[in-house]
Amino acid sequence: MSEHSGGGGHIGVHPHWDIGPFVVNADTIIMTWITMAIILIVGFLAARTVGKQRVPSGAQNFLEMIFENLGSQFEQTLGSKANRFAPLLITLFLFLLVGNWLGLIPKFSSPTNDLNTTFGMALMVMLIVHLSGIMDKGVIKYFKHFLEPNPIFLIIHAVEEISKPTTLAFRLFGNILAGEILIFILVSLVPIWMPVPNVIWLAFSVFVGVIQAFIFTMLSMSYISNAVQDEHHD
The parts of the chain modelled with pLDDT lower than 50 are 1-9, 232-234
Nearest to 32 by CA among 89, 107, 113, 88: 113
> Would you give the distance in Å from CA 211 to the centre of its chain?
10
Contact 205, 181 (CB under 8 A): no
Contact 115, 169 (CB under 8 A): yes
Exposure string for 85-108, b = 16+ CB within 10 A, e = fewer: bbebbbebbbbbbbbbbbbbeeee
d(CA 161, CA 163): 5
Q: What's the pLDDT at 195?
A: 65
d(CA 129, CA 97): 22
Contact 212, 172 (CB under 8 A): yes
Phi, psi of 17 (to 5 degrees): -115, 140
The amino acid at residue 141 is K
d(CA 75, CA 56): 24
Q: How many CB atoms lie within 10 A of CB 54?
A: 5
* Dihedral over alpha carbons 86, 87, 89, 93 (to 10 degrees): 130
Annotate 93-113 with DSSP letters as a single string.
Answer: HHHHHHHHHHTTSTT---GGG
Q: What's the pLDDT at 144?
A: 84
Dihedral sign for Cα 157, 158, 159, 160, please. positive
d(CA 156, CA 62): 42
**In Å, how far are 7, 9, 10, 26 from 107, measured between CA atoms?**
12, 8, 10, 14
User: What pLDDT, in 10s, does the model give residues 16-60?
Assistant: 777 777 778 888 999 999 999 999 988 787 777 665 655 666 556
* Dihedral over alpha carbons 106, 214, 116, 182 (to 10 degrees): -40
Question: Is this structure's pTM higher than 0.75?
Answer: yes
Q: Where along the chain do its domains lie?
A: 16-228
Q: What's the pLDDT at 105?
A: 85
